[in-house]
A and B are shown apart, each in its own frame.
Chain A
Amino acid sequence: QSVLTQPPSTSGTPGQTVTISCSGSGSNIGSNTVNWYQQLPGTAPKLLIYTNYQRPSGVPDRFSGSKSGTSASLAISGLQSEDEADYHCAAWDDSLFGWVFGGGTKLTVL
Chain B
Amino acid sequence: QVQLVQSGAEVKKPGSSVKVSCKASGGPFRSSGFSWVRQAPGQGLEWIGRIIPILGGPNYAQKFHGRVTVNAVKSTTTVYMELTSLKSEDTAVYFCARDGGVGGAAIDSWGQGTLVTVAS
Which residues of A does B touch, CB under 8 Å? 2, 32-33, 35, 37, 44-47, 50-51, 56, 88, 90, 92, 96-104
Contact = CB atoms under 8 A, between A and B. Distances in A.
Main secondary structure of the interface of B (DSSP, over half): strand
B110 A44 contact: yes
A59 to B, nearest CB: 12
Contact of B45 (A45, A46, A96): A45
B106 A2 contact: no
Contact of B108 (A56, A98, A103): A56
A66 to B, nearest CB: 16
B61 interface: yes
Q: Which of A35, A37, A44, A56 has the most CB of B within 10 A?
A: A44
Contacts of B112: 44
Interface string B13-47: 00000000000000000000001010000011111
B59 interface: yes
A35 B108 CA distance: 10
Contact of A99 (B44, B47, B108): B47
A47 B110 CA distance: 9
A50 B99 CA distance: 11
A33 B105 contact: yes
Contact of B105 (A45, A50, A103, A104): A50
B76 interface: no
B44 A100 contact: no
Contacts of A96: 61-62
Interface string B94-111: 010001000001111111
Contacts of A97: 59
14 contacts: A33-B106, A44-B110, A44-B111, A44-B112, A44-B113, A47-B106, A50-B108, A98-B50, A99-B99, A100-B47, A102-B44, A103-B43, A103-B44, A104-B44
Q: Which of A2, A56, A92 has the most CB of B within 10 A?
A: A92
**6 nearest CB pairs, A to B:** A103-B44, A44-B110, A50-B106, A101-B45, A104-B44, A35-B106
